[in-house]
Structure 1
Amino acid sequence: MKITERQQKLSDLIDEKLAELNLPDEPSLLYDPVRYTLGLAGKRVRPYLTLIGCGICNRKVEEALPAALSIELLHNFTLLHDDIMDRADTRRGAPSVFKKWNSNTAILSGDAMYAKAFKQLQYYGHSDFYGKNEYRTILDIFLNSAERVCEGQAYDLMFESQSDVRIEEYIQMIEGKTAALISGALAIGGAVAGAEEATLDELRFVGKKAGIAFQIQDDLLDAIADPEKFGKKRGGDIIEGKKTYLTLLALERCNIQQQKQLQKILADDKSNASDVDTVIGMYQDLNIIEDTKNAVQYHYQEAMDHLERFDDSEYKKEIINFFNHLISREY
């Protein structure tokens, strides 16, 4: 699905404001990795949803730009730290900050992004148009989102040494690690617009369901996407031994022999492309690929159904179009 004119306009606006961030030349060790990270070709899903969350609640989206930038900075902060924990060499098809510099630099630059995120939110604290309660709601959404992301990451780390992870536990983990920030992005946009708590809850639900779908889809694309488009090598999750929606579903369905083979490949730190082919072949035999696609569709549809509770508007059309685009993405 083609990008809409409004989506292009909002994406350009986000990139323009990110480029205007106050990032001094010195100390270069701190700010060069920040500039590098923000310059990589990201989807800008979260700041875009912040603007849409504001627009769907009948406020000018430009008012939500500081909140949108804070969410994007928070997101990139988590990515820098994720790459250290995962020892990931690439991010968005380019060397990660961890690889290009080192882990200490990635930690420090990530922390700088977190501080910059808070500085963006100061706009609402200093503005005469926002009262104490409104500012508190905006901060609460931001901080709750950050906290939930950390909790999700903690569960993800725990799952690495846990042999009996269930699908339900995995969903709980990605509700924090991935969905919390997408949920928070929509809700903080609504908070900027002064929406009632019930409306914010609807935005949180829509974002949560879209976030769950987004992560399961990422798991799926790791196995079936074109590596050049996806920006990661095919089957990277399998080689790294990660527990994903696909591996957990396969472990639930496979026979004893397949289970032993799959667990051996996931546990082996020398797994290779041949092992990836073996696991993906297992996915196909067990109908994992198709059922994972259905799971993605189910969670996106739940998000769509809750959007119907909002009044018709250009922004409602925009987010529906955007979700339809995400459903069909190939990377």
Structure 2
Amino acid sequence: MSTSKLHRQLLEKIEKGLQDLLLPDDPQTLYQPFRYALDVGGKRIRPLLTCLACGICGGDTEDALPAALAVEILHNFTLVHDDIMDSAETRRGEPSVYKKWNENIAILSGDVMFADAYRQLAAYGQNDAFTKQEYTALHDVFSEAVITVCEGQALDMEFVNRTSVSHNEYIRMIAGKTAALLSASLEMGAIAAHASPQMREELAELGHEMGIAFQIQDDLLDAVADPEKFGKKPGGDIYEGKKTYLTILALERADEDQKRFIQSVLDAQDPTQEEVEKVLSLMGSLNVLDDVAAETDQHYQKALNLLQSFDSSEYQQELKNLLIFLRNRDH
């Protein structure tokens, strides 16, 4: 995705804010992993959304920066703890915090990141430009997102040991793990702009639709994307036995023989390429691939429709460009 001047300016503002965090030098085992987790990088999508939402609502993006930093620190905290739970040795091509140090250090550093994320919001309580109600609203939106993200993670963990998961349950899980923080990022940006309740609600819904679309699209790309662009062979999730939106829908639609075969491939320690290709073929014949593509498109279109209710601005156009880029991505 080519970046605009506005995109670059906002990213520079976010990066500077992260670099300017007043983190102590000592204890080193607490704060070095904190800094490392932030410096490993990332696209900074969530803080970018916070700044864009503020601009869309006519606010000053400087006012959105504490909220933007809060959501980015929180996001990285979740990654530090997720890597422990998943025993993931790398993150963004570098050793994960728990691998570079150890599990106990990663847990404690994650804890202080969580606390520091909340500390960023104190700036609004100390700024007379923000009412007590707005300060409270920022905390409420942020706290609700934290709880929902944890619920989504818990559901994801529960699904591993369950024999069946419905597509509605899966949507609820990704609404927590993926969509909740995107939704909160946009709504907090609106609050930072002193936006109306209706604007807040529309941007929160936009983030929800965006998050759902992105995650089920990711599941779809695993099955249909060009392996050279996507980075792994088609059906990678099937080889790993993962429950995805595609496998869940396929199992719901399959007849008994098809269902037994799909489940046997998902349960296999080392399924063959032929078996995985047959599952992908069944997904096609059961209209799973086409229907998930259409559903993804519907969620992105809902997000774009919500965006159209806001006045035209460079911020609105930037968010529109991002949604269109995500909608058309092929890896």
Q: TM-score, normalised by structure 2?
A: 0.91
Corresponding letter in the other structure for 2:198: A
Inter-CA distance 16–101: structure 2 relative to 1 (3 Å threshold): same
- Superposed CA offset, 1:217-267 (max 9, x none): 222233445677657786553344321111112212333333223222323
Query: Contact between 1:90 and 1:232, CA under 8 Å: does it hold in 2?
Result: no
TM-aligned CA deviation for residue 26 of structure 1: 2.8
Q: Give SS of 2:121's match.
A: helix
> Which residue does the alignment assign to 1:100?
100
Paired residue type of 1:214: F
Task: Report the Cα distance in structure 2 between the residues aligned to 1:158 and 1:293, rounded to whole angstroms.
Answer: 27
Structure 2 segments unaligned to the other structure (5+ residues): none
**In the alignment, what sits opposite 2:169?**
169
1:29 is paired with a residue of what secondary structure? helix
Q: Contact 1:52/1:189 (CA < 8 Å) preserved in 2?
A: yes
1:249 alignment counterpart:
249
Q: Is 1:47–1:71's contact at 8 Å kept on the other side of the alignment?
A: yes
Letter matched to residue 177 of structure 2: K
Matches within 5 A, 1:194-273: 194-225=194-225, 235-270=235-270
RMSD: 2.4
Alignment of 1:92-131 (within 5 A): 92-131=92-131
- How far the C-alpha of 1:67 sits from its partner, in A, is 0.4
Q: Residue 329 and residue 32 in structure 1: after superposition, are their counterparts in 2 closer, same or farther (change >3 A)?
A: farther
Alpha-carbon displacement from aligned partner over 1:48-99 (angstroms, at most 9, x marks no partner): 0000111111011121011001001111111222222222233223332233
Distance 1:94 1:273 in 2: 30
Alignment of 1:171-190 (within 5 A): 171-190=171-190
Instruction: Name the CA distance, whole Å, in 1 between partners of 2:36 and 2:228.
Output: 20
Kept in 2, the 8 Å contact 1:93–1:232? The answer is no
| Alignment partners' CA distance in 1, 2:220 and 2:93 | 18
For 1:44 and 1:229, the matched residues in 2 are separated by 22
CA distance in 2, matches of 1:237, 1:297: 22
Is 1:192 paired with 2:205?
no
Instruction: Give the TM-score normalised by structure 1.
Output: 0.91
Contact 1:33 1:97 in 2 (8 A): yes
Is 2:149 the partner of 1:149?
yes
TM-fit CA distance, 1:167: 1.0
SS in 1 for 2:200: helix
Moved more, 285-294 or 301-310: 285-294
Q: How big is each residue's C-alpha offset from its partner over 1:275-320, in whole Å with a ceiling of 9 and x where there is no partner?
A: 6555445444544333322221110101111112212222111111
CA deviations on 1:80-139 (whole Å, 9 max, x unpaired) are 222222222332233322333333222222112111111111111111222211110111
Moved more, 62-71 or 73-82: 73-82
Partner in structure 2 of residue 73 of structure 1: 73
Say whether residues 1:82 and 2:82 are aligned partners.
Answer: yes
1:29 and 1:236 map into 2 onto residues whose CA distance is 36
What is aligned with 1:300? 300
After TM superposition, the structure 1 stretch with the greater mean CA deviation from structure 2, 224-233 or 251-260, is 224-233
Amino acid at match of 1:218: D
Cα distance in 1 for residues equivalent to 2:24 and 2:269: 41
Q: 1:56·1:313 contact (CA, 8 Å) conserved in 2?
A: yes
Give the 3 Å change call, closer, same or farther, for CA 140–321 of structure 1 in structure 2.
same
| Whole-Å separation in 1 of the counterparts to 2:274 and 2:263 | 15
Residue 16 (structure 1) aligns with: 16
Distance 1:225 1:89 in 2: 25
> Are residues 124 and 292 of structure 1, via their aligned partners in 2, closer, same or farther at CA, if it must alter by over 3 Å?
same
Identity fraction in percent:
50
